[in-house]
Amino acid sequence: MKTVLITGCSSGFGLETARHFLANGWKVIATMRTPKADVLPASPHLSVLPLDVTNAQSIRDVVAAAGPIDVLVNNAGIGYLGALEGMSMDAARDVFETNTFGTMAMSQAFVPQFRERRDGVIINVTSTVTLRSLPLLAVYTASKAAVNAFTECLALELNAFDVRATLVLPGRAPDTRFGDNARPRMPEFPEPYTELVQGIFAEWAKPSDITESRDVAEAVWRAATDPSTPMRLPAGKDAVAWANA
């Protein structure tokens, strides 16, 4: 039985991905800042572990508790919406600590066992905002675009050891708690940006194609099980449309 470790499993993409792998007969190690085992179906193949990807000791503890794994899914992330002029650099650094450096740190922690076994897959979940620039998302987009570049370079490093690194790029997913989680960090918009902000929110309110959590779970499953999966795999109707534009 193969084992997958997934970060950010308390809700949204991570939760649905954990369910998908369990349903397909894998052992799942679901991690989250505050463990909530009841969000997933009871299973002897499920372990729920605490993890803060910004904390080095927390990462070491998870590596020790997890043991050998076959696939690492770096899904944990935080959202951020705001005009650059109105945000603090501390807030920007927090976004990068989780979205970018947390992904790098988790990858670094598991690469040694993958390299030694000459087998393993690292799947990093980013976003299709990296394919099309949008206002008010400069810092968030930069944090995810950095992971894209990191993953593509890492894949070249690990190819010699038969280890894969790949990307899943979801689109906009209103059925997740992404917006709710981002809201407490959202700064006040500077007054000169009011018209821009109102126009953007009005545009986002219009009916459009979206990404559902199951789209991401299915894309992660494909990336984990199909070596022919492309480096950048869009997940969701809107994501596919953006990737093909």
Active site residue 80: no
C-alpha distances (whole Å) from 150 to each of 103, 113, 122, 202, 231 are 9, 19, 12, 34, 12
Q: How far is the C-alpha of 126 from the C-alpha of 236, rounded, in Å?
A: 13
Q: How far is the C-alpha of 50 from the C-alpha of 31, rounded, in Å?
A: 6
**Exposed / middle / buried, residue 206 (Cβ in 10 Å: 0-12, 13-18, 19+):** exposed
> Which pairs with CB-CB distance under 8 Å and at least 24 residues apart come from 109-113?
109/59, 109/60, 109/62, 109/63, 110/5, 110/63, 110/69, 110/72, 111/158, 111/163, 113/68, 113/69
Give φ, ψ of 117 to 5 degrees: -85, -10
Query: Which candidate in 140, 150, 189, 242 is catalytic?
Result: 140
What amino acid positions are annotated as catalytic residues? 140
